[in-house]
Amino acid sequence: MSYVDELQAAFERHAEIADYRINLAERRSLGVGIRDNDVGSVYSPFSFSQSTGGGFLVQWRNGLLSRGNLDGNSLAILEQVLSNARQAAYDDPDAAQFLGPQPVHEVSLFAHDVPQLFEERSPYLLDVVTELQTLAQRYGAKTLNGGVGASVGTSWLRTSQGLGLSTTSTSFSFSASFDGLIGEGKSQRMIAPLTEIQEQITYAGDYLQHLRAPMDGGSSGTRIVVLHPDVAYSLFSFYVWGNLGGSAIYHGQSPFRIEDFRLGQQVFRDDLTVRVDPWQPLGPGSFMYTSEGLPSAPVTYIDRGRLTQPVLDLKYARRLALAPTTPPGSEQSVLIEAGDVSDWEMLLGELDDAILVLSVLGLHTQDRTSGNYSLSTSQALLVRDGQVRGRVKATLNGNLFDQLRDTRVRLVRFKGQHSPGFALPLTVTIEQTA
């Protein structure tokens, strides 16, 4: 019997367990890190690991629920693990849902080239490190941090109601940060060739010289601000996904009410559509089922500015008397679309006295429900006469909900980025750095 089979058999034998759900994963990983220019140092060693981990949800015969963690040693001490979990048992009838067999759409998550990195292609990891070092030298970076890694793993989901699912997946990732100022990287299912790695890291290197040159940002006021995709999606995730969740809606902690979804309320501009597609072959954000065993499916959450449905797990689907839905697996599974989309290279030539924002500070401290924000830019660049000039420091003030209703806002496509950036008029407070 496999380890997961033995675990399940032990749960089945336990006299006090009425229902259970087991999530377990086994993964092999390897990687090479770079810390302050040193390769394979004590802070970023060459690594190879094998791990087993997961968790469980059980309903005891008295109706209470318990959750706990699992690892490669749990089977040997399972009575102790379950006893400890039972001491923290709680009452939550709506969460006591254990799915039976489900029809799952097959999605390719396994790239056959990644396992070769654990064998004959392992030197390729050092080739990537050499490429990152070469790029750091090209851009005159004094300090390089980053690395490259890969993993292969299998995950299982088992329930007392007969659900048995498994997936095998791969991942490959790389990253580089120059002088602690800016970095780039990517995670995907298959091995990235050196040419793609070079191209991705170049997007960060091209900004490095500008970030080293502080500029007079001019006066405070309203101007066009371009939010890099990293910043734009962070705001979108915090304010939109954060307020579409079933928990926030049920507890009245969202500006949206359940009636808004039933009525298809218009909340954003009428060309804005937001979809989740978990079925993209080898997509880094793709998945076949959720941790509860719910089969994934493509879903539209905002259709031409109208709310269609909240993001619901089994618990809040029951509480809101709606069907559960497929959540966004990661940014790469989310598609944000609108009629007015520009390429960054084209838009840049049109800009004068604008600001390109590469990162912000303090998003987690903002008022999620209102949509209001006041954010300091940790990395931002002045754009004048259609050219990126140098670093400025500013505070951005706005309301994302209002901006997603504003027809002046444009989506901006950046090379190497999955999500779009946003170009929008914003109230900006300039802090002098020059």
In which band, very low, low, confident or very high, does the pLDDT at 295 lie, cut at 50, 70 and 90?
Answer: very high
In which band, very low, low, confident or very high, does the pLDDT at 42 lie, cut at 50, 70 and 90?
Answer: confident
The answer to whether residue 216 scores a pLDDT higher than 90 is: no
> Which of 196, 44, 49 is closest to 127 using CA atoms?
196
Farthest CA pair distance, the chain: 75
When pLDDT is averaged across residues 223-229 and rounded to a whole number, the result is 97
pLDDT computed for residue 219 by the predictor: 85
Q: Flag the least confident range among 3-17, 29-43, 102-116, 356-370.
A: 29-43
pLDDT computed for residue 240 by the predictor: 98
Percentage of the chain exceeding pLDDT 70: 99
pLDDT computed for residue 40 by the predictor: 79
What residue has token string 């960054």? Answer: 344
Whether residue 394 contacts residue 217, with contact meaning beta carbons closer than 8 Å, is answered with: yes
**Domain ranges within the chain, ordered by starting residue:** 3-209, 213-235+339-431, 257-337
The answer to whether residue 433 scores a pLDDT higher than 70 is: no
When pLDDT is averaged across residues 238-263 and rounded to a whole number, the result is 98
When pLDDT is averaged across residues 114-126 and rounded to a whole number, the result is 96
For 351-414, give the secondary structure using H, E and C: CCCEEEEEEEECHHHCCCCCCEEEEEEEEEEEEECCEEEEECEEEEEEEHHHHHHCCCCEEEEC
> What are the two backbone dihedrals, phi and then psi, of residue 301, each rounded to the nearest 5 degrees?
-95, -30
Strands 341-343, 410-413: pairing is: parallel
Handedness of CA 97, 98, 104, 108 (dihedral sign): positive
Average pLDDT, the chain: 96
Q: How far apart are alpha carbons 224 and 176 in whole angstroms?
A: 29
Percentage of the chain exceeding pLDDT 90: 94
> Which of 283, 364, 265 is closest to 329 using CA atoms?
283
Q: How far apart are alpha carbons 287 and 293 in whole angstroms?
A: 11
pLDDT computed for residue 9 by the predictor: 98
Identify any residues that bridge with 410 across adjacent strands, giving them in sequence order.
Answer: 423
Cα of 219 vs its chain's centroid, Å: 36
Cα distances (angstroms) measured from residue 333 to each of 5, 149, 319, 348: 31, 22, 26, 28
Strands 273-276, 334-337: pairing is: antiparallel
The answer to whether residue 432 scores a pLDDT higher than 80 is: no
User: Quick one: tokens of 195?
Assistant: 């040419």
Handedness of CA 194, 200, 204, 205 (dihedral sign): positive
| Model pLDDT for residues 404-414, shown as the tens digit of each residue | 999 999 999 99
Four-way CATH pick for 3-209: 3.30.2290.10, 3.40.50.620, 3.30.300.30, 3.40.50.20: 3.30.2290.10
pLDDT computed for residue 434 by the predictor: 52
When pLDDT is averaged across residues 229-239 and rounded to a whole number, the result is 98
In which band, very low, low, confident or very high, does the pLDDT at 105 lie, cut at 50, 70 and 90?
Answer: very high
The answer to whether residue 43 scores a pLDDT higher than 80 is: no
Terminal Cα-to-Cα distance of the chain (whole angstroms) = 67
- pTM here is 0.94
What residue has token string 């706005």? Answer: 398
Whether residue 308 contacts residue 275, with contact meaning beta carbons closer than 8 Å, is answered with: no
pLDDT computed for residue 200 by the predictor: 97
Strands 221-227, 182-188: pairing is: unpaired
| Model pLDDT for residues 56-92, shown as the tens digit of each residue | 999 999 999 999 999 999 999 999 999 999 999 999 9
The answer to whether residue 329 scores a pLDDT higher than 90 is: no
Q: How far apart are alpha carbons 237 and 366 in whole angstroms?
A: 13
Element (H, E) at 18: strand 17-35
User: Quick one: tokens of 101?
Assistant: 């067999």
Element (H, E) at 60: strand 47-60
pLDDT computed for residue 153 by the predictor: 98
pLDDT computed for residue 191 by the predictor: 99
The answer to whether residue 416 scores a pLDDT higher than 60 is: yes
